[in-house]
Structure 1
Amino acid sequence: MNLNRLSLSLLALLPALASPAFAGQAPGAASAPDIAISSKDRVYLSDQSSNTVSVVDPATEKLLGVIRLGDQTPGNLSPLYKGQLLVHGMGFSPDHKTLDVVSIGSNSVTFIDTASNKVKHTTYVGRSPHEAFFTPDGKEVWVTIRGEDYIQVLDGATYEPTKRIKVPNGPGMTIFSPDGKYGYVVSSFTPEMVVIDTKTHKIAATVKQGSPFSPDLAATPDGKQVWITLKDVGKTQVINARPPFETIATLDSGAITNHVNIARNAQGQFAYVTVGGLNAVKVYTTTDHPELVATIPTGEMPHGLWPSGDGTRMYVGLENGNALAAIDTATNKVLSTIPTGQSPQGMVYIPNAVPSGTGTDNLTPLGSAGDAVHLTLAPAGAAGIATTVVVNNQGLVDILQAGVTGVEPKKAYFLALSNNADGSGPLDPVAKFMGNPAGAAIVGAIGPLRKSVEGTSGNPKRYLVIAPVVDDKPGTPIQIQR
């Protein structure tokens, strides 16, 4: 055999055997291999208003159907109701075979087989759980019980409760370091994040949050940083993922800063932050001094997001758009928008979720949950959009949600209906709310609202406005419907 030829062959083979320089996507480690997008992968979104899980094939960019976990309103208000309510949080097992779905209103974690879309088990936990994630070794599931002050630990195989970990009041979410050593837990009620040793279940450190309300966080695959969102003040905080866990930076990301996640590609490692008030995703470097590199318009109120298995895409749920946006991470542009269920909140991307077959068993069509009215509000004569509104069809009634910006912090307002397009005349209040420290709010209401805002035979069209509270009545509107 020609030794020179053998040597050249081995040299040619080495790059193929070695891990790619930019391998490894969240929540995994940077050393993990990338997995190219295929129809074996799935994107899952938790649809809070329709109580469904939307299932998307990222390769064909199509909604395959939904997993129905509960009924729409008012059927889910019955004392005899047994379905899930306010489907919200998501996680998945390290072997990619199990999806977990948290429902806030029914205090549950539902475990679903990714290959068959069939519910395997439902565990009921404490008041208002928010998110649930498997430990990297798959042995435990940590459920943040946001309505109380602990993490409920479940057995990763039986899904039964095993112990509680006491944390500051209102834990919002847990994410683990890529090596599995630490669990990082933010709070939605207390300005403290805690770092927990996963072996001892003891708190190893406490980190001051920039505000009391953090709903989401992500750990970088290189194990160096933790990014947390501060929804009430419109900021994003970057923390050293290793002792002494000091804050590296606090970024002004914008009103209704929702979720954060990480993507690694040929250009490096980047943090993507959904900013609902801007209807955009902001992209930052994950260097020692993070810098903004892109602001990507996405559609109505981006919320949850997750990278593809190779980091070439970042998928973003549009809460008021009832859709999924796919971002090309090389160009930071939206490539497609895919319809989903109502009010998507959390979401995950699971590579190789369906190793064989079509993976469409036990899915149902979206049906009437795909019906919605989308509106925007802004000050009279102003450019741009201040508030996005979606009115979701629930059958007998509708669920309205408004992502409000451009109001004064700690000031009371009404979302109201006017008979006139310019907002003049008597106003009928729909919901009362308070501006948060960033001058924003998420406002909800239930009623036969589509008939009002669309206008039908016998129902003249009416127009949404935002007006300050004056003597417990609506004052002069500051935002009117476009």
Structure 2
Amino acid sequence: MKHILLSLGLLAGTMLGSVASFAGQVPGAASGPDIAISGKDRIYAGEQFSNTVSVTDPSTNKLLGVIKLGDPQPSSLSPLYKGQILVHGLGFSPDHKTLAVVSIGSNSVTFIDTATNAVKHTTYLGRSPHEAFYTPDGKELWVTVRGEDYISVIDAATFGEKLQMKVPGGPGMQIFSPDGKYGYICSSFNPETVVVSVADHKIVGSIKQESPFCPNIAASPDGKQVWFTLKDIGKVQVFDARPPFNIIKTIDTGPITNHVNIVHNANGTFAYITLGGNNEVKVYRTDTFEQVATIPVGKLPHGLWPSGDGTRVYVGLENADAMAVIDTLANKVVATIPIGQAPQAVVYVPNAVPEGDGTQNLQPLGLAANAVNLQLVGNKKEKDGNAPTNVTLFDQGLLQVLQASVTGLDPKTEYVLALSATPDGKGELQPLSSFKTNPGGSAIVNALGPIRQIVQNAEKSQRRYLVIAAAGEEGPGDVVQTQTK
């Protein structure tokens, strides 16, 4: 009997060790348990043009509805007394009961009960907050106030701002070490990431960024690495999560490198990175930094987050009003889910709804389900295999928000998005928006108006076509990209 018990004990220890080695997903520690996908879990996406948060059941890959936080355009052109605008960033509490939603245009963070989808409180902050996340002990919510030079530290119990923590101007996002000791804060305006001691809110380390534009950052569950994206130059950098916080690796990823997240599964630990300019997700090992997969996902992938067991990654497609579901063991898309307009941040919250169906206070998509997709291609062969410029017209009623994910142009160069009376762009052009490409020859360009009615007009004499032209001193110059459909 002793031998049997000893054998069973050894077997149990082996099994527990095996489970532990494949356990723990962000933002938790690797030592934590994996949580199998179930109907109690929820996937949330912050949607910038419909001003909604979509709520999806990962067990069925079905959209349950949206939480409406504000009205579509052009409501923001008059005083905004109620509601939120430019819904963007997301975070969730360690007990999985509260979702924090950052709205850039109304300078706010909205706290939502995950079980009922009800708004519990809204806290207003400084200029243009971007992302928010809870400290691992759940006592504080840190919000990067991107239009300022500080982190707003909010008391999670009272929802009130308790202090403003000075950091390099334009903080992009913060995330925490799994043990709760450090906060890692990258910058969108300065080439510097800082490390802050959570206990006393003091800066204890600094990492040089290769460019000043970092929108997103992720810490590995094993507490060893931090990855951050550089959207303007198409790179990712990795540094040691422990002092002295040295840079470990710099990786050339591709145009419009948006978000990064870490996934642990039976095959190892991997970084998943969205490339908006190429409409794909790239996957890298975190031990050797070898690229192991390139996954086509859809138009302008932005935020992404793994399931509680690491078997799936969910990717918001900003120019497709959809979410792609990636099987992380096969590294292929297994589902695409329609959601709200221009999804930005995405989070997966295990056991968000312990009881009931969790559909209270949800609304159907409505106008947010309507969008038109167009493409522009260059007059010369696309550089480096870049995807064509994707254009989405997000329906706001009589008007549409136009968003173009521009690729394949010369870097750091002025251009004009315009309307042409002919498909080839010859003749007089009517400018819609001027822009300058980033060092990777890419840009995100926006405009507002009755554009769908113009570019899809049945009357040939009234129809216009989208083009991109070089900027000139006396108006648009040579046309470099034209509309294909």
Report the TM-score, using the length of structure 1 for normalisation. Answer: 0.97
2:428 maps to 1:439: no
Q: Report the secondary structure of 1:264's partner residue.
A: strand
After superposition, give the CA deviation of every residue in 1:305-330 in whole Å (9 maximum; x if it has no partner).
Answer: 00000000111000111100001111
Separation of aligned partners in 2, 1:334 and 1:394: 30
Is the 1:451–1:459 Cα contact (8 Å) retained in structure 2? no
Is the 1:74–1:396 Cα contact (8 Å) retained in structure 2? no
Letter in 1 for 2:302: H
Is the 1:467–1:477 Cα contact (8 Å) retained in structure 2? yes
1:288-327 matches, cutoff 5 A = 289-327=288-326
Separation of aligned partners in 2, 1:385 and 1:45: 24
Alignment match, 1:46: 46
Alignment match, 1:73: 73
Q: Report the secondary structure of 2:21's partner residue.
A: coil
Alignment match, 1:366: 365
Separation of aligned partners in 2, 1:345 and 1:3: 58
Separation of aligned partners in 2, 1:336 and 1:83: 32
Letter in 1 for 2:186: V
2:22 maps to 1:30: no
Is the 2:27–2:221 Cα contact (8 Å) retained in structure 1? yes
How far the C-alpha of 1:10 sits from its partner, in A, is: 4.0
Separation of aligned partners in 1, 2:289 and 2:59: 32
Is the 1:213–1:231 Cα contact (8 Å) retained in structure 2? yes
Separation of aligned partners in 2, 1:259 and 1:6: 49
1:248-287 matches, cutoff 5 A = 248-287=248-287
Is the 2:20–2:32 Cα contact (8 Å) retained in structure 1? no
Alignment match, 1:207: 207
How far the C-alpha of 1:471 sits from its partner, in A, is: 2.3
Count of residues in Structure 1 that have an aligned counterpart in Structure 2: 480
Is the 1:376–1:385 Cα contact (8 Å) retained in structure 2? no
Letter in 1 for 2:416: F
1:89-100 matches, cutoff 5 A = 89-100=89-100
How far the C-alpha of 1:424 sits from its partner, in A, is: 2.4
Q: Report the secondary structure of 1:73's partner residue.
A: coil
Is the 1:306–1:315 Cα contact (8 Å) retained in structure 2? yes
How far the C-alpha of 1:276 sits from its partner, in A, is: 0.4
Q: Report the secondary structure of 1:368's partner residue.
A: helix
1:113-262 matches, cutoff 5 A = 113-262=113-262
How far the C-alpha of 1:427 sits from its partner, in A, is: 1.5
How far the C-alpha of 1:157 sits from its partner, in A, is: 1.2
Alignment match, 1:331: 330
1:399-478 matches, cutoff 5 A = 399-456=401-458, 460-478=462-480
Separation of aligned partners in 2, 1:138 and 1:456: 56
Please give the root-mean-square deviation of Cα atoms over the aligned residues, in Å: 1.5
Alignment match, 2:391: 389
After superposition, give the CA deviation of every residue in 1:237-282 in whole Å (9 maximum; x if it has no partner).
Answer: 1111111111111111111110000000111000011010011111
For the structure 1 residues 459 and 58, does the alpha-carbon distance in structure 2 shift closer, same or farther, using more than 3 Å as the test? farther
After superposition, give the CA deviation of every residue in 1:32-51 in whole Å (9 maximum; x if it has no partner).
Answer: 11001111111100000010
Separation of aligned partners in 2, 1:353 and 1:436: 39
How far the C-alpha of 1:302 sits from its partner, in A, is: 0.3
Structure 1 stretches lacking a partner, 5+ long: none
Q: Report the secondary structure of 2:367's partner residue.
A: helix
Is the 1:326–1:336 Cα contact (8 Å) retained in structure 2? yes
Is the 1:171–1:185 Cα contact (8 Å) retained in structure 2? yes
After superposition, give the CA deviation of every residue in 1:187-225 in whole Å (9 maximum; x if it has no partner).
Answer: 000111000000011000111111111010000111111
Is the 2:135–2:141 Cα contact (8 Å) retained in structure 1? yes
Separation of aligned partners in 2, 1:407 and 1:189: 23
How far the C-alpha of 1:17 sits from its partner, in A, is: 4.7
How far the C-alpha of 1:4 sits from its partner, in A, is: 4.3
Q: Report the secondary structure of 1:336's partner residue.
A: strand
Is the 1:215–1:231 Cα contact (8 Å) retained in structure 2? yes
Separation of aligned partners in 2, 1:80 and 1:33: 44
Separation of aligned partners in 1, 2:312 and 2:422: 44
Q: Report the secondary structure of 2:368's partner residue.
A: helix
For the structure 1 residues 291 and 5, does the alpha-carbon distance in structure 2 shift closer, same or farther, using more than 3 Å as the test? closer
After superposition, give the CA deviation of every residue in 1:420-458 in whole Å (9 maximum; x if it has no partner).
Answer: 222222221111100111111110000001111222469
How far the C-alpha of 1:11 sits from its partner, in A, is: 4.5
Separation of aligned partners in 2, 1:456 and 1:79: 36
For the structure 1 residues 140 and 63, does the alpha-carbon distance in structure 2 shift closer, same or farther, using more than 3 Å as the test? same
Separation of aligned partners in 2, 1:101 and 1:362: 16
Separation of aligned partners in 1, 2:388 and 2:471: 19
Separation of aligned partners in 1, 2:370 and 2:79: 27
Larger mean CA deviation between 470-479 and 205-214 belongs to 470-479
Is the 1:75–1:81 Cα contact (8 Å) retained in structure 2? no
Q: Report the secondary structure of 1:476's partner residue.
A: strand
Alignment match, 2:377: 378
How far the C-alpha of 1:22 sits from its partner, in A, is: 1.1
Larger mean CA deviation between 401-410 and 114-123 belongs to 401-410
Is the 1:229–1:257 Cα contact (8 Å) retained in structure 2? yes
Separation of aligned partners in 1, 2:107 and 2:48: 14
How far the C-alpha of 1:338 sits from its partner, in A, is: 0.5
How far the C-alpha of 1:472 sits from its partner, in A, is: 3.6
For the structure 1 residues 100 and 302, does the alpha-carbon distance in structure 2 shift closer, same or farther, using more than 3 Å as the test? same
Separation of aligned partners in 2, 1:3 and 1:223: 39
Q: Report the secondary structure of 1:242's partner residue.
A: coil
Is the 2:40–2:352 Cα contact (8 Å) retained in structure 1? yes
Is the 1:452–1:459 Cα contact (8 Å) retained in structure 2? no
How far the C-alpha of 1:366 sits from its partner, in A, is: 0.2
